[in-house]
Amino acid sequence: MVKFKRILLKLSGESLMGKQNYGIDAERLSDYARQIKEVHDMGVQIGIVIGGGNIFRGLSGSQKGFDRVKGDQMGMCATVINSLALSSALGAIGVKTKVMTAIRMEPIGEFYNKWKAIEAMENGTICIFSCGTGSPYFTTDTGSSLRGIEIEADVMLKGTRVDGVYTADPEKDPTAQKFDEITFDEIYHRHLKVMDLTATTMCRENHLPIYVFNMDVYGNLKKVISGESIGTLVHD
Ligand code: UDP
């Protein structure tokens, strides 16, 4: 039994680094690919957005003197690199994928189109949406909200390195308590950082629930799809 029929999975670029300080860790990449295959084999339709923070972030670039828009474009290119890596890792274990780009760059990827994406997912192909929203000053969290809403996903699964939403940062505050579920209103009220505000607001206004969980523990994605309560559900 699967809890969600169609998902938008958001993976951060940073977690692709694994134990490295930069770039793509082959072991982490293959772990992710195998976890994704497990839920694909259960018949779940999958769209994926992957960040680029393991390679370049526009905001940090602009702090070092890069033009912000060019820096963001570099960041969007980084998401394409990660998307191609994930597509390749999934292909290596027999899973069909389609990399779509929010900015035209054929033949690297197909220009994003909602209906083509849905058709592909319905036919068992995983769609990897790269370049975030395609515009500067946004993040891949916003890209995930946007694509999740557009493809009519049942949920956005935000795979992170913590196992849910806490009252405070659990890596800094040992007294922090985890929520099993929380409303969008409470997220604002308590100033919790689940995603950036633009992304959170888009999900709230379009009623797309977010499930935050630790994707770095092998098997967790399957647990979430099977309905095990291992993370935090953010809902209306
Ligand atoms: N980016 C952008 N527009 C988008 C999505 C991403 O300009 O719609 C750029 C931005 O510079 C961002 C970088 O791409 O810093 C990488 O994305 P993000 O920081 O979201 O990656 P993550 O933190 O998930 O690794």
What's the 3-state SS for the chain?
A: CCCCCEEEEEECCHHHHCCCCCCCCHHHHHHHHHHHHHHHCCCCEEEEEECCCCCCCHHHHHHCCCCHHHHHHHHHHHHHHHHHHHHHHHHHCCCCEEEEECCCCCCCCEECCHHHHHHHHHCCCEEEEECCCCCCCCCHHHHHHHHHHHCCCCEEEEEECCCCCECCCCCCCCCCCECCEEEHHHHHHCCCCCCCHHHHHHHHHCCCCEEEEECCCCCHHHHHHCCCCCCEEEEC
Question: How high is the pLDDT of residue 171?
Answer: 85
Query: 178 falls in which pLDDT band (50, 70, 90)?
Result: very high
Query: 209 falls in which pLDDT band (50, 70, 90)?
Result: very high
Distance 136 CA to ligand 1 centre (A): 8
Distance 1 CA to ligand 1 centre (A): 34
Mean pLDDT, to the nearest integer, of 194-208? 96
pLDDT digits (tens, 9 = 90+) for 47-83: 999 999 999 999 998 899 999 999 999 999 999 999 9
Question: How high is the pLDDT of residue 204?
Answer: 97
Average pLDDT over the chain, rounded to an integer: 96
CATH homologous superfamily of 6-234 equals Acetylglutamate kinase-like (3.40.1160.10)
Q: Where are the domains of the chain?
A: 6-234
Distance 57 CA to ligand 1 centre (A): 6
Q: Consult the annotation and say whether 53 binds a ligand.
A: yes
Q: Consult the annotation and say whether 198 binds a ligand.
A: no
Question: How high is the pLDDT of residue 61?
Answer: 86
Question: How high is the pLDDT of residue 31?
Answer: 97
Mean pLDDT, to the nearest integer, of 201-211? 98
pLDDT digits (tens, 9 = 90+) for 113-131: 999 999 999 999 999 999 9
Query: 182 falls in which pLDDT band (50, 70, 90)?
Result: very high
Pocket test for ligand 1, best of 8, 16, 17, 57 (most atoms within 8 A of CB): 57
pLDDT digits (tens, 9 = 90+) for 139-150: 999 999 999 999
Pocket test for ligand 1, best of 25, 74, 140, 202 (most atoms within 8 A of CB): 140
Given a cut of 90, whether residue 10 has pLDDT beyond it is yes
Question: How high is the pLDDT of residue 1?
Answer: 85
Query: 233 falls in which pLDDT band (50, 70, 90)?
Result: very high
Distance 135 CA to ligand 1 centre (A): 10
Given a cut of 90, whether residue 232 has pLDDT beyond it is yes
pLDDT digits (tens, 9 = 90+) for 89-111: 999 999 999 999 999 999 999 99
Which atom of ligand 1 is closest in space to residue 135's alpha carbon? 3
